[in-house]
Amino acid sequence: MEKEQVRYEVYGILEEYLGVNKEKIKPENDIMEDLGADSLDSVEIIMAIEENFEIEIEDEIAEAMQSVEETVNSVYDKINNHKKK
């Protein structure tokens, strides 16, 4: 999967769970501070990402996924590493 496709799908998940128009989401946005997610939202977003991309995100990776771009990069890396195994 191309990184742009991952970005598009992650933005869609953020839009669905946070009610933020994906046109207004920027890579540098902090998911909690800028987009208004709380800890429950974060858990739900991670679960939605795992289901959507059919991957498992370890806790330490999830904790590092604070910005939108960090989230996109982590998901993209996880997808590519998962396919190689």
Which domain CATH number covers 34?
Answer: 1.10.1200.10
CA distance 31 to 41: 10
Q: What separation, in Å, do the N-terminal and C-terminal C-alpha atoms of the chain show?
A: 15
Bridge partner list, 30: 67
The answer to whether residue 59 is catalytic is: no
Give residue-wise pLDDT tens across range 30-83.
Answer: 999 999 999 999 999 999 999 999 999 999 999 999 999 999 999 999 999 866
Q: Which domain holds residue 8?
A: 3-84
CA angle 50, 74, 60 (to 5 degrees): 80
Report the domain count for the chain. Answer: 1
Q: What is the DSSP letter of 74?
A: H
Find the catalytic residue in 30, 38, 41, 77: 38
Q: Whole-structure pTM over 0.85, yes or no? A: yes
pLDDT of amino acid 50: 98
37 within 8 A of 20, measured Cβ to Cβ: no
